[in-house]
Amino acid sequence: MTIPTDELVQKDLKHIWHPCSQMMDYEELKPIIIKSGEGVNLYSYDGKKYLDVVSSWWCNLLGHCNKRISAAVKQQLDTLEHVIFANFSHIKAIELCEELVKVLPHGLEKFCFTDNGSSAIEAAMKMSFQYHYQTGNPQKTRFMALSDAYHGETIGALSIGGVDLYSQIYKPVLLDIIRIQAPDCYRCPFGQNCKNCDAQCIKYARQEFEKHGRETCAIVIEPLVQAAAGMKIYPPVYLKKLRKLCDSYNVHMIADEIATGYGRTGKMFACDHAGISPDIMCLSKGLTGGYMPMALAVATNEIYDAFYAPYLEGKAFMHSHTYSGNPLACAAACEVLKILKEEKILEHAAQKALYFNALLKEKFSSHKNAGDIRSIGLINAIELVKNKDTKEPLDSNKRTGYQIYKEALKKGVILRPLGDVIYFNPPLIIEKEDMDYAADVAYKCMVKILG
């Protein structure tokens, strides 16, 4: 039986306030009602197929309705759906931590469970603040973050974010953050090439550490890829230097690997490219393969120990979320780790990444508006500019990226550019023919809009 799509759309628009959307845009571009998913594809009620090269907001890792993950969740569903996580535990949470410790950067061993990326960031910030308070540094009350950072939408996470589109209007209610100018490899202020530079831009961080290090609990960063800013990529040497600065000023490094973790950059975690360990790492998105909302703030034993004391000393971390450690999410997350290992997903993804990077370079580089074509792992981005020599951006009021998005949807590819940056961040299991199709459609749509 086919359900009339128009009717569904009307009902949707009557009630649903969609995320990150000007709802008036939906007058022209109606919501697409998805019926099912399989592998890299989604299928709508009106029978169209959509290639999900954005991994449904970067969380689908191993394909939609992956047989193994689905089976693991179904089995868990008939065993235990949820349990209070204070003083109670369950086997899948324990298994998940044991297995993750094996692949996480050295020293990250204590797991705080939350239920979305923003809440993991909040937990990490509170944890860091309280650590310093309880270890004789109550003057450490502030946070540092990079320009163009994105760490989520709740008040704390939004505060450390540096993308005005999301935070500008809320400034009066946000925390006062120490802002560090982020690396900008496409428009490097030092005229360097990021392939072999020495991260001179660490200078901006050093200046702020000198001025504010004493009053700072932590710096929160997206390692190697500032994703929401337009997949801005910077080299590992920057992270290494930042780690040293953090050590000298007793400032925690909170690595937000919510977007970069789980093989997106070619290694399990972006921090692995630099061989560094953060003090706290936040994970979500790929964690459950895109199945269930869950996130983690993983801390060192050193941080954990600062909270470990007789109850009446009042040092406990009194942070909780109702759905902390949800067993269904943990079951999915355990299966994801098994699949990554048993099916050698990262090794195969590395081969695909080489192919995809080369394909996009070949296809796009001669186009007059393809300013920067950058990639790390299977993440690929094309920054559109008005003029390639001056790197002058397109007029953002023209919403070029959005026009290209609409064209690509007609051809069954979900691009969802970030401003005027077209990007691909597909499930790691994507095959050649789908990469070919995505690249082809993106190119044709770009030509249609920009000539």
Ligand X SMILES: *Cc1c(COP(=O)(O)O)cnc(C)c1O
Residues near ligand X, by CB under 6 A: 116-118, 121, 150-152, 222, 227-228, 256, 258-259, 284
The one-character DSSP state at 108 is E
**For residue 184, what are its two tokens?**
């900008």
The SS3 call for residue 254 is strand
CB of 157 to ligand X, least distance (A): 6
CB of 398 to ligand X, least distance (A): 26
DSSP labels for 397-446? GG-HHHHHHHHHHHTTB----BTTEEEE---TT--HHHHHHHHHHHHHHH
CB of 321 to ligand X, least distance (A): 12
CB of 358 to ligand X, least distance (A): 26
- Residue number of the CB closest to ligand X reads 117
Question: Which of 297, 303, 239, 299 has the alpha carbon at shortest distance from 267?
Answer: 239
The answer to whether 206 and 181 have CB atoms below 8 angstroms apart is: no
Task: Return d(Cα 222, Cα 225) in angstroms, integer.
Answer: 6
Q: Closest CB to ligand X among 296 and 306?
A: 296
CB of 115 to ligand X, least distance (A): 9
**For residue 60, what are its two tokens?**
């689908």
Q: Closest CB to ligand X among 145 and 385?
A: 145
CB of 256 to ligand X, least distance (A): 5
Q: Closest CB to ligand X among 213 and 401?
A: 401
Q: Closest CB to ligand X among 117 and 266?
A: 117
CB of 343 to ligand X, least distance (A): 25
Q: Closest CB to ligand X among 369 and 380?
A: 380
CB within 8 A of 212, min separation 6: which ones?
142, 144, 178
Phi and psi (nearest 5°) for 125? Answer: -65, -45
Q: Closest CB to ligand X among 229 and 384?
A: 229
Task: Return d(Cα 433, Cα 50) in angstroms, integer.
Answer: 14
Q: How long, in residues, is the chain? A: 451
Q: Closest CB to ligand X among 185 and 441?
A: 185
Distance from chain centroid for Cα 231 = 10
Task: Return d(Cα 116, Cα 97) in angstroms, integer.
Answer: 17
Q: Closest CB to ligand X among 151 and 267?
A: 151
CB of 117 to ligand X, least distance (A): 2
Question: Which of 392, 443, 440, 436 has the alpha carbon at shortest distance from 40?
Answer: 436
**For residue 34, what are its two tokens?**
């998805």
- Give the residue carrying structure tokens 């693991």: 72
CA 127-129-133 angle, to 5 degrees, is: 115
